[in-house]
Structure 1
Amino acid sequence: MARPRRPKPKESGRRTKKKVSILNTESIEYVDWKDVNLLRRFQSDRAKIRARRVTGNDTQQQRQVAVAIRNAR
């Protein structure tokens, strides 16, 4: 005989606040590969490029940051 199914637990309904990008707050339009201080803010302590969900960048900004970091290396 089959067991009755348990109802799934409801989510708490709490959503996380979307992080605002550094590029938007400082109104930076172009990410220059020579601007080392800016690029360091998008890297971890192990020099890995931080993800979009961590930095708050949109797709285009994240691509610009990634290309600039790779060029700077």
Structure 2
Amino acid sequence: MKPIIEFCANNAGFGTDVALNRLKEHYDCEVIEYGCLTGCGMCYTSPYALVNGETVAAETAEQLYEVIVDMIKEIEAID
């Protein structure tokens, strides 16, 4: 199953747009950017995304990218 990674456009100020583009280029996953993920306030406090519907947050966009990559690898190992 192809992982679905969802990003909030309002969260791009943390650099999540860079993580989004890197994921699109290097991994076999569905990467989607929405205007809002209805995380009400999360987009203003830290970088975050949804991985198969699960909220994932980190202190930096680079750390978020690494967490997402680890999750993708776990999902691929299950399949």
Same fold (TM > 0.5): no
Normalising by structure 1, we get a TM-score of 0.30
- Structure of greater Rg: 1
Higher strand share: 2
Q: TM-score scaled by structure 2?
A: 0.28
Q: Which has the higher helix share?
A: 2
